[in-house]
Structure 1
Amino acid sequence: MPDTMHRIALARRPKGLPVPEDFAYESCEMPAPGEGEVLVAVTHLSLDPYMRGRMDDVKSYAPSVAIGGTMTGQGVGHVVASNAEGFAAGDLVTGITGWASHAVLPGTELRKLDPGTPPSAALGVLGMPGFTGWTGLREFADMKAGETLVVGAATGPVGSMVGQLARLAGLRTVAVAGGAEKCRLALETFGFDAAIDHRAHADASSLRAALAEVAPDGIDVYWENVGGKLLHAVLPLMNVHGRIPLCGTIAWYGGVEGDGTDHLPGLWRSILVKRLKVSGMIIFDHWDLYPQFLTEVGPKVAGGEIRYLEDIAEGLENAPAAFISMLQGGNVGKQVVAL
Structure 2
Amino acid sequence: MPDSVVIVGAGVIGLTIAHQLLLDIQSQSSASKLKKLTFISRNYPNDEPLTHEYTSPWAGAHFRPFPHRPEAYETDKRESAYTRVTYKFFQKFAAEHPESTIEFMKGVDWLAKPTSEYLGLGPGLSKDSLVDLRTLSKPELPPGVEYGCEYLTWCLNAPEYLKFLQAQVEQLCLRLRIPLEFSRLNLTSLQDIEKWFGGTNVVFNASGTGLLYSGGYDPKSFSIRGQTLLLNVPNPNSIRYAHATITHQGNDGSWTFVIKRPASNGKPQYILGGTKQLDDDLIVPREADTQALLSRARKLFPDLLFPDGSFDIVRVNVGFRPARQAGSRVELEASPENGLKIVHAYGFGGMGYEVSVGAAQHAIRLYKSRPSRL
Shorter-chain TM range is under 0.3
Normalising by structure 2, report the TM-score. Answer: 0.20
Higher helix share goes to which structure? Answer: 1
